[in-house]
Structure 1
Amino acid sequence: MSDSKISSFEVGKKALQSGDLAAAEAALAQAVQQSPDSAEMALLWAQCAVRQGEVRTARERFAALLRKHPTHFRGWLEAGHMSRQLGRQAEVMHFYRMATQVAPLHWEGWLTLAGALEAAGQWDEAAGCYHRALPLARQAPDGEAVPVSQVHALMAKSRLERGDAARALESLRQALGLMRVEKPEPDVNVTAALQIDLGDVLMRLGLTEAAHRAFERASAADSEEVLTRLAMQSFHHNLWGEAQAVLKRNVALHPGSALALWNLAHSYVESWQMDEALQTLAQAEAIAPQPGAKSMRASVAGRLGDADQALALYRELAEEEGPESAMRSSAAMSALYSDSLNAKQVADLHRSLFAGWGQGARPAAEFANAREPGKRIKLGLLSADFHHQHPVNLFMQPVLARLDKAQFEVTLYNVGVAHDDQTQQAQRRVDHWVQATTWTPVQLARRMRDDGIDVMMDLAGHTSHNRLVMLSLRVAPVQVSFLGYPGSTGVPNIDWLLADPVVVPPAHDALCSERVYRLPNTVFCYAPEADYPYPVYGEAQSQRPLTFGSFNNVPKLTPHTIALWAKVLARAPGSRLLLKAPSFRDESAIRIFRERFEKLGVEASRIEFRGPVGLADMMAEYADVDIALDPVPYNGGTTTLQALWMGVPVVVKEGQNFVSRMGASFMRAAGLPEWVAGSDEAYVDIAARMAADRQALLQLKAGLRARLQAAPAWDIDRYTRDMESALRAMWTDHCQP
C-alpha cells in the first residue's frame, strides 16, 4: 500500500473519529477506490454512511463488503448493529447469527446475539449464547482475551438499554463479584463505572438507599470521564447536591480541563445558580472556546426572566445550526414567555421555525392500519417525563390508571433519563413499555410503525428530550399534541391539539397549525394521587398581613408580570408577596428580583423569597398564601391548580393564546369567573378588591377544595371518558373515506 493510500485511510479514520463526516466520506471514498480489496477500509466507509444517516448507502456498502469478504466477522457484526438502529429485527438476527458462524470462537458475537435474542423474548436460546460467551472471553488469544467480569458488564449494559433493570442487576452483581477475585485487580475507575451502572439500576428498581451507596462508592473515581458520568446520573435522579460535589471534585482533580469547568457551569445553571454559572463558564472559555457558550447564556437569560434576550440567542443558534437544530424548539419555548410578542407573532414564529420540517413525510393514507372506527385503538404515548414532580407525570398517572383497556391498547415510549417509583408505576399501568432513551429516531420510528400505532400522543412538545423532528415525518396515521406544551407546536404533520373552549376558543383556531379538539370542561384535570392535607383556615389567617404569592418558575416573572404585581402591592397597603421558585436557592437570583421590585417602589421587606423543597412540603406552604397571583403572558399551569387544591384562589388575566388563557380556563371551570381579568387594570382591581374583604376570602378558602371536587372539571373519571371520546373521534375522522 502506498503512502498516499495510507494517508487517505488515516485521514478518513481520524475525521470519522472527530465527527467531521464530510471529510471522512471524501477521504474514505478515495481510500476504497485505491484499495478496493481492503475489508478494513470498506467497513469504515460503511460505518461512515451509518453515521451520516445514509441508510440505503450504508446497506449497499455492507452488502458489497460481505459479498467480497463473506467471513469478515466485524462486517457481519456492524451490519447487525446498523439493522438494530433501524429497528429491522429479522435482519439483526441474521447478521448476528452469521457473525457467530464465521467466528464461532469469538465471544463478542455470542454475547451480542444473546442481547438480541433477549430483546426478542427468546430467553432459553439467549441464555445459551450468553453462557457460551463467558469461557470464550477467557480463552481468546492474547490481545483479544477480556476478563469475564467485562462480559457480564456488557450484558448488563445491553439489558439496561432496553429497560430490563432486573436482569441488568443480575449481570452487574456477577461482574462486581468477579472483579473482587480477578487478577490483576481492576482500576478504580473501571470499578466506579460499574458502580454507576449499579446505582442507576437500583434507582430504577426503587432501591433508593442501595443506589445512593453505589453512587457514593463510585465517587472514589479520579477519571474525568467517570466523574462526569457519575454527576450526570446523579442529576438524572435529582441528586443535585451530590452531583455538584462530584463536579467540583472533578475540577479540583483536573484544573486545566475546560470540559470539567463547562460541566460544573452547566450544573450551576440547572440548579439556578446563575452568577456561579457565568463565572465558571468564563473560566472554561479562558482555557478554550466553548461551542455551547451562547446556548448556556441563552438559558441563563431565560431563567432570569429575560425572554427576549434568550429568544434572540436561540434564533441565532437555530440559523447557525440548520433546519433540524434543537435550538428551534428552545426559541419556540422562549417566545411563550415574551412580553413583546403578541399571539399572532408567536404563532407565526412557530410556523416559520419549523417550516422546513416534515419534507418527505409518509402520508397518513399510506399506513396499513385497519380503518375500523370501532376497533380497539392502539394508542402510543411519547414522553421523557414520567418521574416524580414532573407535571406530565402528575396529570397523566390518574388517566393511565383509568383508561379503558378494552378500548385502548397503550404503548408508552419512554425517551427520558430519570427513573423512579413513578416511572415504575407508569410502566405497570400501560400494556407495553418501550425503553427508547438511547434509540435513534430511525430506530424508534420503525418500532412505532411495526407496533401498528393508530394514534400517537406526544406529551413533550418543544420541551427537553422531544422527538418532534421524527413526528414531523409521521410515525402514525393520527398524531396529537397534549399536555407537555401549552400551545400549538407549529410542527407539520401534528394533526390535532387537545385543548378546551377557553384556552383555544374557535375564534383562535387560526393561531394553531393543528386542528383543535376541545375537551368539554378544562384541558387539564388535577386529581393528585398523593394525599395533601387541607390547611385549616381560621381567624389566624384573617389577622395576619394579607399575603399574595406565586410558586411559578422564574422565567415566568417577566418585566410585565413584575410591574403588574408591583401595582397590586401598591393598591393593597400592608400586604406582602411570597415568591417561591428553584431559582431562589441562589442569593444572586434573590438580589436581582428584589432590585427589580425596588425599582418599582416595592420595599424589600414586603417580599419573601423561598427556594425549593419536596413536593409534599411545597404543597403545605400554600397555607402561608392568601391569594395567588398568576404571571403573564405564560400562565401558571400545575402551580395554579395546586394552589386551588390547597385553598388558595388565583387572580388571573385572560390573554390571547393558549399559554396566556390557562388561568382563565381553570378559574372559570372552578366557578370563579369573578377572579378572571380582561386587562391589567382589571387584574389589579380584582386583587385589591378580593384582598380587602378578609372574611369573604376566608370563607372561600375554607371550602375551596370541596367546591373543586363537586365541579365536572375535577372529576377524573369523567375527564378520562372525555379524553377517550376525543381520541376515538380523531381516529374515526381518519377512518372516513
Structure 2
Amino acid sequence: MIHSSSRPAHIRIIGLPQQDGRDDDLLATSRKDCPIPCPASGESSMNLARKARRMAEKSAVKARSHGHQAAGPVAGDPPAQTLRLVLDTYTKARHPRETLDLITPMLTRWPKSPSLLGVAGAILLQMQDAAAAIFMLEQATLYGPNEALNWSNLGVAYKQQKRLAEAEAALQRAIAINPKEIDPLYNLGNVYLEKRQFKQALQQFLLVLDLDENHADALNNVGTALLHGNHNLQAAESFRLAIKARPDFHMAMVNRANALAAAHCHEDAIAAGEQALASRYDFVMDRFLCYQKAQICDWSAFDHFRSLPVNAPDGPPAPPFNALTFEDNPANQLERSRAFSAHAMLKPAPTPPQPAPAGDGRIRIGYLSSDIYDHATMHLFAGVLREHDRSKVEIHLFSYGPDMDCPIRRSAKKMVEHFHDIQELTDDAAIAAIRQQNIDILVEMKGFTQGSRAHLLGAGLAPVQVAWLGYPGSMGHASVHYAIADHIVLPVEQRHTFDENIVWLAGSYQSNDDQRPIVTDKGSRRHHGLPENGFVFCSFNSSYKITPREFDIWMRLLAQTPDSVLWLLRSNPVAERNLRREAEKRGIAAQRLVFAGKAHHHEYLGRLRHADLFLDSFAVNAHTTCSDALWAGLPVLTMAGQQFCARVGASLLHAAGLPELATTSEADYEALALELAHDRGRLTALRERLAANRLDCDLFNTKRFTAKLEAAFAAMQSRQQQGLPPADLDLA
C-alpha cells in the first residue's frame, strides 16, 4: 500500500512582525503522523465556535438596550500585543484547547477578526474537528479575503470533509493571492491525489519543488502520483530523494520498497524494506519482506514467517495474499482476510441500493475489475462475456485498471452492452457511478490482489455482491454475500473457512475461453534449450509459489530420470540464480534447470507442446497457468491441499476429465510423476484423452459454463426479490 503525505494546518497571526528570526508558521500535526486528542470536556469544538459568535451578538444587543455603543464588538484585528499573546499561548500550551479557550472570549470583542478566526480555525483543524474549522475559516476568509493562509487551511478542512470541489476552489484562491506560497500548492496536489487526478497532482507537487527542491512531503507525493501512473522506477527515485531530504521519513521508505517491488526489482525492494524496518518496526513491512524473498526464492523467509503472528497484535493488518504461499492453512487465511477487510472496507452507505426490477425482466450484472487488458484473468473471462445470453442478462463492465489499447480490451468493450471506465473516479464518485446503473448483482473480480478496489463493496454497490475468479480465498466481510466455488476446490467440510455464502457449480468454478488460439511453435526443443529426447518436466508458475517442499521432490525426479530437465518460467534473474544454487545443493547440475522467457500469450501456449509433464506447486497451485497447460494439451500433475488456492489444480483436472492426476499426498505426487516420466505410453494415453475431450469437458465448454453461471445469478436474484437473505446454493 502506498501512502501520500498530508501537511497539517499552519498557525500564523496575520500581519504580526516576526521576532528573533523565528518563523511564526508553527507546524501543527496531522492525523496520520501524530494525532492530537479531541477536547476532553463534553463541549464540542463546533459548540465553542458558535458560542463565541453568540457571545458577541449578545454583547451588541445588551449595549443597544442601554442606549449606548458596546465596548465591543470591534471590526478588524486586535492590537499587535493581543495577537502576540495568542501566539505565545499557542507556543507554550500543552494542548491546542488552551489557545482556543483564550481566543473564544476575544471573539466577543473582535468577531470579524481574520487573524483570530483564522487561528481558531487552524487550531480546530489541528484538533481534527474539520466541521468547526470550516465554520471559523469561512468567516476568516469573508472578513479577510486576501489572506492566502486562511484559504489554504479552509481547503484542507474541506478536503477532510470530502468536499473536494470546494477544497480545490479554496486552494486555487490561496494560490491566486500568493503563487509563491508553498502550502496551498502542496495542499492542492493532495486534493488532486484524493480525486485520482494524478497528472494534475504531479504538476502541483513539481511546482512545490520549484520553490523548495528538498520538500520531503512533495517528493514523497510525486512518487505516489508516478506510481499510480505505473512509472514505478521513477517513483522509487522520488521516494529516495524524499528520504535524502528527511532521513527518518519512514513513510517514504515504505513507499520506496513498494515501488521497487512493483517494478519487479525484488532484491532492491528487500533492501529498501529492511531500511524501513530498521527505522521503525512495522508488521506489514515484515510480511512484505517475507513475500519479496519468496519472489526471489530466498527460502529463509519461510522460517521467519512461521515466527510471526497470524495478524499484527496492533496496527494495520498485512494484505492476506502475501501469506498464501507460506502455509496451507485455510483457518489462518480466513483470519487474515477478516482482519484486512475490517480495516480496508468502506463503511456501508446509509441507504442500501434497492434498484427496481429491470423493465425487460433481465438481470443487470456488473463485473468490477482492473484487469480488462492482456491479463491472465481476461484470458479466462473473455469467453464468458461473449457467451452471455443477452435475453437473460444485461452486462455492465466496470474497469478501474489501465486504459490499454490492446485487442482483448477492445473486444471486451464490444461484447458488453455497457463499458464504464472508472479508473480516475474517487471512491465516492465510483460508488455513485456504479449505483446509478441499478446493478442487481455486482461481481468483484480482484479480491486482495494488487491494485484492487474491492474495498468499494463495503459501501454497498448492489443488493447482491459476489466474489469470483480473482482471489482464491474468502474475503472475510459481510458485504460480500456470495463466493462461487465447486465441490473440489471447496469441499463441504471446508465450508467453515469462508464467510460468504457458497454457490457450488457443477464442474469447476473457473471459466475458460474455448476460442483461444494457439500459435504453433515451429522451433525445435533445442531452440528453447531443451533436450531433443530427454524428459521435460515443466512448471511455469510464478517464482513465489515454488517452495522447498515441491522443489525437493522435483530434484529427486531429475536425479531418477536420466537426461531430464526442469523447465521453469524466468520470473527474475535473482530467483533464477537462487534456484540453480538450490539445485546444486541437492546434487543436480545447475544447467538441468532451463528458464523460459516471457512470450505473447498465444505463442506461449504453442511453446508448451515441448514439455512432457507440468508439475504443480503446493500451497498456491497454478490457476490460469494450469488451464493454459491443459488447453495446450499438456497433462498437469497436482497435489490437493487444504486451502482454496491449494485445491485449484484438482478442481481443473476433475473438470478436464483427468482426476487421477490430482494426488492427495507428497508421496503419491512424487511416485506418479516418476511413473509417468518412465512410462511414455501411459503419458501419451493421457495426452490423447485430454485432446479428445478438450472441447466438450466441463473446463473448456465456455457456453455451458456461462449457462451455469447465469443460473447461479438467477438463483441469487430470486432469493433477493423474495426478500430472503443470501444462503448457500448447491447447483452441482
* Residues 514, 702 of structure 2: 8 Å contact kept: no
* Residues 193, 225 of structure 2: 8 Å contact kept: no
Aligned residue type for 2:29: A
Q: Say if 2:550 is the partner of 1:561.
A: yes
Q: Say if 2:519 is the partner of 1:533.
A: yes
Change (3 A) 1:334 1:613: same
Aligned residue type for 1:454: D
- Give the TM-score of the pair, scaled to structure 2: 0.68
* Residues 205, 218 of structure 2: 8 Å contact kept: no
Give 1:164-243 correspondences, 5 Å limit: none
Matching residue within 697, 704, 721 for 1:735: 721
Give 1:343-422 correspondences, 5 Å limit: 343-347=330-334, 350-351=337-338, 361=348, 367-370=353-356, 375-389=361-375, 391-405=376-390, 407-416=392-401, 419-421=404-406
* Residues 383, 702 of structure 2: 8 Å contact kept: yes
Change (3 A) 1:312 1:397: same
Once the 2 structures are TM-superposed, how far is the Cα of residue 107 of structure 1 from its aligned partner? Answer: 11
Change (3 A) 1:187 1:672: closer
Deviations 1:130-173 (CA, angstroms, capped at 9, x unpaired): xxxxxxx9xx77x4699xxx9xx99x97999579xxxx9xx99x
Matching residue within 701, 707, 717 for 1:715: 701
* Residues 267, 296 of structure 2: 8 Å contact kept: no
Aligned to 2:261: 269
Matching residue within 683, 687, 692 for 2:669: 683
Which has the higher Rg, Structure 1 or Structure 2? 2
Change (3 A) 1:691 1:511: same
Aligned to 2:383, what secondary structure does the other structure show? helix
Deviations 1:346-405 (CA, angstroms, capped at 9, x unpaired): 4455456657888975699x543337898433433333333333x233323333344345
Change (3 A) 1:542 1:598: closer
Greater helix percent: which structure? 1
Aligned to 1:651: 637
Once the 2 structures are TM-superposed, how far is the Cα of residue 462 of structure 1 from its aligned partner? Answer: 1.7
Matching residue within 469, 491, 503 for 2:477: 491
* Residues 85, 443 of structure 1: 8 Å contact kept: no
Aligned to 2:324: 336
* Residues 12, 24 of structure 2: 8 Å contact kept: no
* Residues 441, 462 of structure 2: 8 Å contact kept: yes
* Residues 361, 473 of structure 1: 8 Å contact kept: yes
* Residues 442, 466 of structure 2: 8 Å contact kept: yes
* Residues 66, 72 of structure 1: 8 Å contact kept: no
Of 408-417 and 377-386, deviating more is 408-417
Deviations 1:699-726 (CA, angstroms, capped at 9, x unpaired): 6547845632232431223322222221
Aligned to 1:320: 314
Matching residue within 548, 554, 572 for 2:561: 572
* Residues 15, 23 of structure 1: 8 Å contact kept: no
Change (3 A) 1:373 1:455: farther
Of 615-624 and 500-509, deviating more is 615-624
Distance 2:138 2:241 in 1: 50
Change (3 A) 1:465 1:251: closer
Q: Say if 2:36 is the partner of 1:22.
A: yes
Distance 1:532 1:230 in 2: 42
Q: Say if 2:28 is the partner of 1:40.
A: no
Once the 2 structures are TM-superposed, how far is the Cα of residue 47 of structure 1 from its aligned partner? Answer: 5.7
* Residues 205, 219 of structure 2: 8 Å contact kept: no
Residue identity (%): 21
Aligned to 1:431: 418
Once the 2 structures are TM-superposed, how far is the Cα of residue 593 of structure 1 from its aligned partner? Answer: 2.0
- Give the TM-score of the pair, scaled to structure 1: 0.68
Distance 2:341 2:707 in 1: 33
Once the 2 structures are TM-superposed, how far is the Cα of residue 466 of structure 1 from its aligned partner? Answer: 3.3
* Residues 251, 257 of structure 1: 8 Å contact kept: no
Of 655-664 and 296-305, deviating more is 296-305
* Residues 545, 574 of structure 1: 8 Å contact kept: yes
* Residues 504, 658 of structure 1: 8 Å contact kept: yes
Q: Matched residue pairs, number?
A: 620
Give 1:458-469 correspondences, 5 Å limit: 458-469=444-455
Distance 2:228 2:180 in 1: 35
Aligned to 1:125: none
Structure 1 unpaired stretches of 5+: 100-105, 113-136, 176-185, 194-220
Change (3 A) 1:492 1:608: same
Once the 2 structures are TM-superposed, how far is the Cα of residue 628 of structure 1 from its aligned partner? Answer: 0.5
Aligned to 1:381, what secondary structure does the other structure show? strand
Of 505-514 and 225-234, deviating more is 225-234
Once the 2 structures are TM-superposed, how far is the Cα of residue 470 of structure 1 from its aligned partner? Answer: 4.6
Aligned to 1:179: none
Aligned residue type for 2:321: M
Structure 2 unpaired stretches of 5+: 1-10, 41-94, 146-150, 724-732
Once the 2 structures are TM-superposed, how far is the Cα of residue 295 of structure 1 from its aligned partner? Answer: 5.1
Distance 2:566 2:711 in 1: 42
